Amino acid sequence: MSVGANESTFRAGQHLSFYSPLSINYGLHLMQQGISSSVDLFFYDFHLFSLSVLGWGEYSTTADMERGGEFYAVSLDFNYTQLQQILSEADSRIATLVRASISEDPVSPRSIELEGHVVFSVRARLGQLQSAAKEQFVPLIAQEIL
C-alpha cells in the first residue's frame, strides 16, 4: 500500500465505515508521508452515512478506514454533479431525502444524516491543509465518481 516516488496511483481497498472523531486524519497522514496532491487515490467502497452541506454546490462527508491496526478519518469533498452521481447509487428513499433537503435549502451549512448508507467508488486527490481551533486536517477532493 505504499507509494513510490514514480507512482501516481494509491489504492485503498479497505472498508470505509462510520466516522469516529478519535481517528487520525488520513489526508494529513498522507501529506506528512510526502504524498503529493497530484497522486490519484482510489477508494472502491466508500460508505456515505451522512452529508455535510458546506455551501452552494459544495459537500463533504467523513468515514473511517482501518489500515495497519490504525483507524483514519477520511474526509471527502465533492461538488453538486458528483453528489448526483453518488445519489444515483443510493436507495431511492435516501436519494429523495437528500435531494429534498438540498432543494429546500441549498446553501446553509449543516449535516444531513442518512437512514442507511450509500456505497460508491471515487478517485480523489489531497486537498489543502485546513486549520481549525483544535485540529488540522487535509480533505480529499473527489476528482471522479467511478
Q: Is the pLDDT of residue 86 over 50?
A: yes
- Closest by Cα among 57, 55, 46, 36 to 108: 55
Q: Is the pLDDT of residue 145 over 60?
A: yes
Q: Is the pLDDT of residue 9 over 60?
A: no
pLDDT of residue 133: 78
Across 69-95, average pLDDT: 95
Query: From CA 30, how far away is CA 138, in angstroms rounded?
Result: 9
Amino acid letter, 37: S
Q: Is the pLDDT of residue 140 over 50?
A: yes
Express each pLDDT in 27-45 by its tens digit.
999 999 999 999 999 999 9
Beta strand ranges found along the chain (DSSP E) = 9-12, 16-18, 24-25, 40-55, 58-67, 70-79, 110-126, 130-131, 136-137, 140-145
pTM (2 d.p.): 0.84
Q: Is the pLDDT of residue 5 over 50?
A: no
For Cα atoms 28, 46, 2, give the angle at the middle one, nearest 5 degrees: 50
pLDDT of residue 105: 96
Express each pLDDT in 52-73 by its tens digit.
999 999 999 999 888 888 889 9
Give the SS3 label for residue 39: coil
Across 7-22, average pLDDT: 46
- The residues near 3 (Cβ < 8 Å, ≥ 6 apart) are 9, 10, 35, 39
